[in-house]
C-alpha cells in the first residue's frame, strides 16, 4: 500500500467518533514502516491492550476501522487460524477482534467479529517476513501473489460487513 500520513490515517476511521480518531495511538515511526510489503496497516494500541486498528485502501481512499478484543467467555470455541491470511498461531497469537459497524447499526451496538493475527501483521506472515516457532503457514499451492490477493479479498469482505 502507499504510505499514509498521520492526518490521512486519523481522517480515515469510519466506525468511531472524530474525537476518538483524533486521540487514538498511531504506530510509532510511521515513515519507517515497510509500506510496500503491507496490504493493510494494522496495529494494536500499546496503551490499551483491548484495542486494535486497521487501515486499508478501498476504492482509492483509506478506510480505517477500530477494533476491540471483547472480554468474553473463554469457553467458546476459539480459532487459532487467522481468517484473513490463514496463518496458524499457537497460544494467543490469534485474537477475536470485533469492529463496531459504521453508521446507525454501530450506534445501536452492532459489531462484526473476526479471528485475526493478534498483532495484525498478516501482510508480513504471508510474505514470510515475520516468523516464529509459534507460527505456521499452510503448505500452499497458491503463489505469493495469489495468497496476497486472498488476504486482501478476506479483508475486503470483513470491511464490507462493517460498512454495510
Q: Which residues bind Zn ion (CB under 5 A)?
A: 82, 84-85, 87, 117, 122
Q: Are 37 and 123 in contact (CB under 8 A)?
A: yes
Q: How far is the CB of 80 from Zn ion (least distance, A)?
A: 11
Cell readout for 42 is 494494522
Closer to Zn ion at the Cβ: 12 or 87? 87
Q: How far is the CB of 158 from Zn ion (least distance, A)?
A: 11
Q: CA-to-CA distance for 163 and 147, rounded, in angstroms?
A: 24
Q: Which helix or strand (DSSP H or E) is residue 154 part of?
A: helix 144-163
Q: How far is the CB of 11 from Zn ion (least distance, A)?
A: 26
Q: How far is the CB of 121 from Zn ion (least distance, A)?
A: 7
Helix residue ranges per DSSP H, 4-80 = 6-11, 18-23
Closer to Zn ion at the Cβ: 21 or 124? 124
Q: CA-to-CA distance for 72 and 133, rounded, in angstroms?
A: 27
Closer to Zn ion at the Cβ: 21 or 154? 154
Closer to Zn ion at the Cβ: 79 or 110? 79
Amino acid at each position: 500500500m502507499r504510505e499514509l500520513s498521520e492526518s490521512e490515517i486519523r481522517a480515515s476511521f469510519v466506525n468511531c467518533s472524530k474525537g476518538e480518531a483524533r486521540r487514538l495511538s498511531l504506530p510509532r515511526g510511521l515513515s519507517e514502516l515497510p509500506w510496500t510489503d503491507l496490504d493493510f496497516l494494522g496495529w494494536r494500541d500499546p496503551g490499551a491492550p483491548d484495542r486494535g486498528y486497521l487501515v486499508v485502501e478501498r476504492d482509492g481512499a483509506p478506510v480505517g476501522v477500530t477494533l476491540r478484543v471483547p472480554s468474553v467467555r473463554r469457553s467458546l470455541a476459539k480459532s487459532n487460524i487467522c481468517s484473513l491470511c490463514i496463518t496458524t498461531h499457537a497460544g494467543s497469537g490469534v485474537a477475536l477482534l470485533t469492529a463496531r459497524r459504521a453508521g446507525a447499526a454501530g450506534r445501536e451496538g452492532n459489531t462484526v467479529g473476526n479471528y485475526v493475527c493478534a498483532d495484525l501483521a498478516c501482510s508480513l506472515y504471508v510474505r514470510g517476513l515475520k516468523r516464529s516457532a509459534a507460527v505456521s503457514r499452510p503448505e500452499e499451492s497458491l503463489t505469493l501473489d495469489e495468497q496476497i490477493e486472498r488476504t486482501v479479498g478476506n479483508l475486503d469482505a470483513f470491511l464490507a460487513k462493517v460498512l454495510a
